[in-house]
Structure 1
Amino acid sequence: MSLFSLIKFFKESQNDWMEQVGQLQVKIDVADSTIHDKMRMVQLTEQDLQVIKSIQPLVISHVNELVRGFYDTILKVQVLREKIEQHSSVDRLERTLEKHLIDLFEGNINEQFVENRVKVAKIHYKIGVETSWYMSAFQNLQQAMFLVICREFDQGSNKIDEIKQITTAVNKLFSLEQQIVLEAYENETVTKMKEQFEVGKTEIRTKIMEISEGLVALAEETQASVEILSSHFNEVSGNSLASNEQSIIAEKKANDGQGQLSDMLHKIHSIEEYTNNMHKAINHLGQATSEITHVITIVKDIAEQTNLLALNSAIEAARAGEHGRGFAVVSQEVKKLAEQTKNSISQIDKLIANSDHYKQEVAQSLSQVIQAVKMGLEASGQTDVVFGQMVESIQQSSQTVMKVKNQMDELTRVVKEIEKASMNVALSAEQLNEAVATA
């Protein structure tokens, strides 16, 4: 009896329907143990496959309706429609699904059966049908199949058990179908994720290698630059130290010069004091000379009066004759003495005149010396101020140099830390290179 005759027989009289179904040839021949596990989970048996095969003609006659309902659900999603049109066509997919459904009700679970399920899953995965969309569309397909079964067979009380047996078998088959397809979806997803992971891993490895190599190169360049910079800083620090030492020497010499200048100022003040005292002494000498001159004038007057008196005495002695001879001798001696006194006074007067002339010259020279000393004091005072400013400037310069040296020392320390950090970066980058290369 053909399958179409069997369906007709079921509709007209089902008394011997199960006997006829039991005669259908079905086969379970698959090596994958997981397929057997799935069948056991849904309790799919050879008897269920015989029932399923018995309604294959029904599926063939309604396959267009069933397939259209499946893809109508999918095509309602604009994104899926665009993906289908991009990768394939609706007609092609419908023809593939028609053959898939007819084979599904062949009643044979073999390697080809499993391979066809996996193939359908890969096609739908490729065009971008997500599992949730596929399950929704498959659910609609399952409902459409049940409606066809219910519509084609009368649901009298004497057929309810048989119809239930048919729908149960179909439900088990669809459940197995979904398990195989969803597992294939999952495998494709895992494979795709692994591929993407490997691609991403390769890209990340390449990027990390590039970055780490760049870090190594940068660290090496930085280290070289830091070494040069550190050398320059050490040189500048050494120059600063030498400059500071020179400043200390210059400050010491300036202080020594200022001390010597102070000593010279003290001596100039002493010279000024001695000169003033000498000037005063000369003035006193001039006063004494004036007094001596006055005394000499008096003595000179006395000598002239004595000479006149001696002359008068001589006249009187001449008048006295013999009696005045002795007095005449005395008068003559007095006259000589007066003449000698007068001559001596003349010489003294000349000496005093010469002494007064020399005194005036000495006084004039002392005035010039005093003026020169005052000018020297003023110049020395100005020089002392300049020395003081110079010492202060040298001290400030020395402080600045020391400050610069300290800053350069600190900067050198920071540069050495940068150099150390650069070496660590280079080492870390090389370690990263090695880790990525072996990843």
Structure 2
Amino acid sequence: MGKCPFSFMHGLTSKNNNEESPAAPSTDSKSFAPTATEMFHTLDGHDDLNEQMRMIDLTEEDLRLLRLMKPVVEQRIDDITNQFYNTVLGVNKLEAIILEHSSIERLKKTLREHIIEIFDGNVNEEYIAKRLKIANIHKRIGLEPKWYLSAFQNLQNVFITAIYNETHTDVERIKLVQTVTKLLNLEQQLVLEEYEKENIREKEEQYLLVKNELKHKIAEFSGELIDLSIDTNAAVEQLVASSNEVNNTFQRTAASALESQGKAREGHGQLNNLTGQINLIYESTNEMERSVNELSSSSQKIRKIVAAVQDIADQTKILSLNATIEAARAGDHGRGFSVVAQEVSRLAEDTKNTVVRIGELTLQSSSLTSQVVGEIRKVQELTESGKQQSLETSRLFSDIVDSMQSSTQRIVTVEEEIKVLIQTIEGIGSATAQTAASAGQFKSATDNL
């Protein structure tokens, strides 16, 4: 292939051997081994970055080697950038991002400057700031880390291919590849770390946004919950008061029902007594009717006797008359018999008059008896009707007592249920008050987030 474009390496070898001549040969593999003069590159105020560079073994010798490689890279920069973008544009998504935010020629120019800056070998504040700016641009245009890493791997492949094509020994190749990959790795670390920081910052902003929105919603919800709890508690208190009033009314109603039930039972008992008395009256009227009937029968017998006595009196009077006639015929001898006959006649007349009077009285008594019998039958009818009404009223009282007993039992049951309801409502009120307190605490805790 002719003279190696990377023949500057012999100069680096001479420096490692403390020689000043740049023309010393560079074929000895040992000339690429680290020497005691090599120092790790460090930056003031970047402890983590210094540890990163120490971990990838980035030394001052590597940076000097990059500076020595810079002229050769500048000669091949167009080939490197063209080869890089030929690969990148093969991915439709990356091509779309490029065309949306820039142009191919502009990005090629930017990449040329970026690569040459790498081989300046100046890892300083400005170098770091530019890499962080690149990371921010990539994040802003939506280039995902996987595509950035893929593109950087592609760039690394281009460098490694170029190194292998332009060197003659494995020692040279290894040293140059190690140096280039160290810088590319450092670039990736800087960019990916900035990616991560930007992601964390975005997440923190999103978190703060969501947190503030959540605080606002929670505060609003807590306020509404407190207001609702207060209104609910007031309604519960009013409901408890109304329930207590209803319970008191039920208690009074239950007491009144029990009293009415007692009076109904008392009335039922008195009605039963009245029914018994009516039954006694009914029996008495029956006895009276029987007695009056017997009296009527006796009056009829008396009338028969009176009639018989009247007949006897009439016959006695006739006999007396006959005796008087016979006494008159006897003259003086019959005078005493005539007196007796007159007396018998007067007695017969008196007897007749008495018997007639007795007959009239008996007839009057019979008429009165008939009236009494009629009145007694009316009394019996009224008594029978009263008895039936008394029995019907007694049944109604029994139904009333049973109904009042059932109603009283239901009232007592409802009263117990109302007591349980009041306890439940009071429990709801207590829970509502606790909810309001919890909502207040929750709102306070949210305000302190």
TM-score using structure 1 length: 0.89
Instruction: Quote the Cα distance in structure 1 between the aligned partners of 2:82 and 2:435.
Output: 64
In structure 2, relative to structure 1, the CA distance for the partners of 1:12 and 1:187 (3 Å cut) is closer
2:55 counterpart residue number: 41
> Which region of structure 1 is more displaced relative to structure 2, 215-224 or 316-325?
316-325
Residues 1:18 and 2:31 aligned together: no
SS in 2 for 1:43: coil
Q: Paired residue for 2:422, among 367, 390, 412?
A: 412
Residues 1:347 and 2:357 aligned together: yes
1:97 counterpart residue number: 111
Q: Paired residue for 1:430, among 414, 436, 440?
A: 440
1:150 counterpart residue number: 164
Residues 27, 110 of structure 1: 8 Å contact kept = no
Residues 1:133 and 2:147 aligned together: yes
1:3 counterpart residue number: none
2:201 counterpart residue number: 191
Instruction: Quote the Cα distance in structure 2 between the aligned partners of 1:15 and 1:306.
Output: 203
Residues 71, 137 of structure 1: 8 Å contact kept = no
In structure 2, relative to structure 1, the CA distance for the partners of 1:369 and 1:207 (3 Å cut) is same
Instruction: Quote the Cα distance in structure 2 between the aligned partners of 1:76 and 1:198.
Output: 40
Show structure 2 runs of 5+ residues with no match.
23-38
SS in 1 for 2:247: helix
Instruction: Quote the Cα distance in structure 2 between the aligned partners of 1:74 and 1:308.
Output: 182
How far has the Cα of 1:117 moved from its partner? Answer: 1.7
2:391 counterpart residue number: 381
Query: Which amino acid in 1 is paired with 2:43?
Result: V
Question: What does the per-residue CA deviation read over 1:320-379, in whole Å, with 9 as the maximum and x for residues that have no partner?
Answer: 222222222222211111111111101111111111111111111111111111121222
How far has the Cα of 1:405 moved from its partner? Answer: 1.9
1:4 counterpart residue number: none
How far has the Cα of 1:131 moved from its partner? Answer: 2.7
> Which region of structure 1 is more displaced relative to structure 2, 332-341 or 71-80?
71-80
How far has the Cα of 1:67 moved from its partner? Answer: 4.2
Query: Which amino acid in 1 is paired with 2:239?
Result: L
Residues 1:272 and 2:282 aligned together: yes
Instruction: Quote the Cα distance in structure 2 between the aligned partners of 1:247 and 1:85.
Output: 95
Question: What does the per-residue CA deviation read over 1:178-217, in whole Å, with 9 as the maximum and x for residues that have no partner?
Answer: 2222222222222222222222222222222112112111
Query: Which amino acid in 2 is paired with 1:30?
Result: L
Instruction: Quote the Cα distance in structure 2 between the aligned partners of 1:13 and 1:396.
Output: 121
Aligned ranges 1:305-320 → 2 under 5 Å: 305-320=315-330
Question: What does the per-residue CA deviation read over 1:377-418, in whole Å, with 9 as the maximum and x for residues that have no partner?
Answer: 222222222222222222232223223222222221111111
SS in 2 for 1:108: coil
Instruction: Quote the Cα distance in structure 1 between the aligned partners of 2:84 and 2:210.
Output: 36
Residues 1:357 and 2:370 aligned together: no
1:335 counterpart residue number: 345
SS in 2 for 1:301: helix
Query: Which amino acid in 1 is paired with 2:231?
Result: E
Instruction: Quote the Cα distance in structure 2 between the aligned partners of 1:29 and 1:355.
Output: 160
Question: What does the per-residue CA deviation read over 1:228-276, in whole Å, with 9 as the maximum and x for residues that have no partner?
Answer: 1112211211111122122122222222222222221111111111111
Instruction: Quote the Cα distance in structure 1 between the aligned partners of 2:348 and 2:91.
Output: 168
Instruction: Quote the Cα distance in structure 1 between the aligned partners of 2:280 and 2:322.
Output: 62
Residues 1:282 and 2:296 aligned together: no
In structure 2, relative to structure 1, the CA distance for the partners of 1:295 and 1:400 (3 Å cut) is same
2:43 counterpart residue number: 30
Residues 218, 443 of structure 2: 8 Å contact kept = yes
Residues 6, 72 of structure 2: 8 Å contact kept = no
In structure 2, relative to structure 1, the CA distance for the partners of 1:358 and 1:94 (3 Å cut) is farther
SS in 2 for 1:107: coil
> Which region of structure 1 is more displaced relative to structure 2, 220-229 or 185-194?
185-194
Query: Which amino acid in 2 is paired with 1:421?
Result: A
SS in 1 for 2:123: strand
Residues 40, 58 of structure 2: 8 Å contact kept = no
How far has the Cα of 1:315 moved from its partner? Answer: 1.9
Show structure 1 runs of 5+ residues with no match.
1-7
Aligned ranges 1:104-253 → 2 under 5 Å: 104-151=118-165, 153-155=166-168, 159-253=169-263
How far has the Cα of 1:132 moved from its partner? Answer: 2.9
1:392 counterpart residue number: 402
SS in 1 for 2:120: coil
How far has the Cα of 1:20 moved from its partner? Answer: 7.7
SS in 1 for 2:305: helix
Note the aligned Cα RMSD (angstroms): 2.7
Aligned length in residues:
427
How far has the Cα of 1:77 moved from its partner? Answer: 5.4
Residues 286, 380 of structure 2: 8 Å contact kept = yes
Residues 248, 398 of structure 1: 8 Å contact kept = yes
How far has the Cα of 1:426 moved from its partner? Answer: 0.4
Question: What does the per-residue CA deviation read over 1:294-341, in whole Å, with 9 as the maximum and x for residues that have no partner?
Answer: 111111111111111122222222222222222222222111111111
Residues 1:401 and 2:411 aligned together: yes
How far has the Cα of 1:38 moved from its partner? Answer: 1.6
Residues 40, 53 of structure 2: 8 Å contact kept = no
Instruction: Quote the Cα distance in structure 2 between the aligned partners of 1:84 and 1:249.
Output: 99
